[in-house]
Amino acid sequence: METCEITGCGGKLHSGALCSRHYNRLRTTGTTDDGPKARKPFADRFWFYVDVRTEDECWPWIGNSWTYGYGSISLGGAKGPKTTSNRAAWLTKRGPIPEGLVVRHTCHNRSCCNPNHLLLGTRADNVADMWGREDGAPKGNSRLTEKDVLEIRASSESRGMLAARYGVTRGHIKAIQLRRTWRSI
């Protein structure tokens, strides 16, 4: 029987080289160390779940997501308040967000955490952005364009990778590929 790689543990392997206890601790706190002081600083925990790329590209959130494609992270503690990944990116790189303002995406990609793609504005600004987009961009509640749908159908990537890239669920990708949605394209 193979055992956990953590010295002195001896637990049965669960994922990779770790037992379930150490795997879950690493996943939730960012470290396999024991105890309440083991939790990594917020910025370290946050950037662990961001796929950082070049300055101009979107940096997708690869951690847990809330409904509508926004990343979700706890500000502290297991039962502490949560925030969206775009707000967390702003907090870690630019500082506090003034009351009444929201963090907007210039790239219109809800999972993007690139600080260069974020700016502050009012909710009204955010709604105006959504409805005032150029031709070919999604409007209203849609996250995908016709071009995105065609790319999804032509892609050989896994549904999980496509879902992360386009900020939708794997089920949505499957429905597109099986032509249950976006039938007109």
Contact 19, 9 (CB under 8 A): yes
Domain membership of residue 185 (yes or no) is no
Query: Which pTM does this prediction carry?
Result: 0.55
Mean pLDDT for 159-176 is 91
From 11-15, 63-67, 153-157, the region with the lowest mean pLDDT? 63-67
pLDDT in tens, 78-100: 677 889 999 999 999 999 999 99
The reported pLDDT for the residue numbered 135 is 47
Asked if residue 57 and residue 17 are part of one domain, the reply reads no
Lowest mean per-residue pLDDT among 39-43, 45-49, 166-170: 39-43
d(CA 30, CA 148): 34
Per the structure, the complete domain to which residue 4 belongs is given by: 1-39
Together in a domain, 87 and 16: no
